[in-house]
């Protein structure tokens, strides 16, 4: 195994463990001495990986993904740039920032003669027309989805009937004029959809819901007839 491959392997091993792992264990799994492991960690850090090491504990990789060298066609890069711009324009603050950061990283490594072209890429995203912005809420929802946490919401449906419910959010759909949360509703014991602009209050309950999101998502997709994207 070449060194480059081993570095990638190290990232993946670190990613598998969620808790700190000692360097000795990592070196054993890689079939390499502890000394080399320290060097590998240093190299990865130099490449931008956020590997945290604490004496007495071990190493832990801050959640993230290391992509190995990838080859993209011109169209593919253009698609990534356009997509990131759309997210930067339309998604909530955190995600929009992440989109800009991802874009910056990609553009930074392009050869200089192409950097300008990509930066000045001719595919633009227009502003949203009348999309009500509830950035902080969307961020809360996204976090809850990822953590499989319950949410308490005050909702006002299309007929202006107000309710309070505990929901298990599983997905967030972006439409032209609104965003919709798909969730399992504890009150109704069924899947329900909630337009984010009709959510009047939202409270993150630091409480995990009892089924796996992937499973719920699959059931919901089947019910709604939504194909995998």
Binding residues among 198-227 for DNA as defined by CB under 7 A:
none
Q: How far is CA 95 from CA 38, 120, 140, in A?
A: 34, 22, 11
Tokens found for residue 199 = 């959510």
Residues, the chain, total? 229
Tokens found for residue 10 = 């190290």
Residue 195 interacts with a copy of itself (CB under 8 A): yes or no: no
Angle between helices 3-16 and 23-30 (to 10 degrees): 130
Q: Which stretch binds DNA (CB under 7 A): 16-24, 65-73, 95-103, 135-143?
A: 16-24
Query: Is 109:124 a contact under the CB 8 Å cutoff?
Result: no
Q: Which of residues 121-150 bind a copy of itself (CB under 8 A)?
A: 122-126, 128-129, 142, 145-146
For residues 86 and 191, which CB has a smaller minimum distance to a copy of itself in the complex?
86
Residue 32 contacts which entry, DNA, a copy of itself, none (Cβ below 5-8 A, type-dependent)? DNA
Query: Is 151:185 a contact under the CB 8 Å cutoff?
Result: no
For residues 37 and 49, which CB has a smaller minimum distance to a copy of itself in the complex?
49
Residue 16 interacts with a copy of itself (CB under 8 A): yes or no: yes
Cα separation, 33 vs 63, whole angstroms: 25
Q: Which of residues 59-118 bind a copy of itself (CB under 8 A)?
A: 62-80, 82-89, 91, 94-99, 101-102, 105-106, 109-111, 113-114, 116-117
Q: Enumerate binding residues for DNA (CB under 7 A).
A: 2-3, 6, 21-24, 31-33, 35-36, 38-42, 53-59
């Amino acid at each position: 195994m070449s060194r480059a491959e081993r570095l990638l392997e190290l990232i993946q091993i670190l990613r598998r463990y969620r808790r700190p792992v000692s360097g000795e264990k990592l070196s054993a799994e890689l079939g390499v001495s502890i000394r080399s492991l320290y060097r590998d960690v240093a190299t990865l850090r130099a490449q931008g990986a956020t590997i945290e090491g604490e004496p007495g504990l071990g190493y832990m990789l801050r959640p993230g993904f290391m992509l190995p060298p990838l080859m993209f066609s011109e169209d593919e890069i253009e698609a990534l740039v356009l997509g990131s711009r759309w997210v930067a324009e339309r998604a909530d603050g955190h995600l929009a920032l992440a989109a800009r950061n991802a874009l910056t990283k990609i553009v930074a490594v392009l050869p200089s003669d192409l950097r300008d072209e990509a930066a000045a890429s001719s595919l633009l995203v227009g502003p949203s027309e009348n999309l009500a912005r509830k950035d902080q809420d969307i961020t809360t929802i996204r976090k809850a989805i990822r953590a499989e946490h319950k949410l308490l919401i005050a909702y006002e449906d299309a007929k202006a009937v107000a309710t309070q419910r505990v929901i298990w959010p599983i997905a967030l759909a972006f439409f032209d004029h609104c965003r919709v949360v798909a969730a399992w509703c504890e009150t109704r014991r069924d899947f329900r959809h909630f337009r984010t602009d009709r959510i009047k209050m939202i409270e993150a309950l630091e409480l995990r819901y009892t089924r796996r999101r992937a499973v719920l998502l699959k059931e919901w997709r089947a019910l709604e007839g939504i194909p995998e994207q």
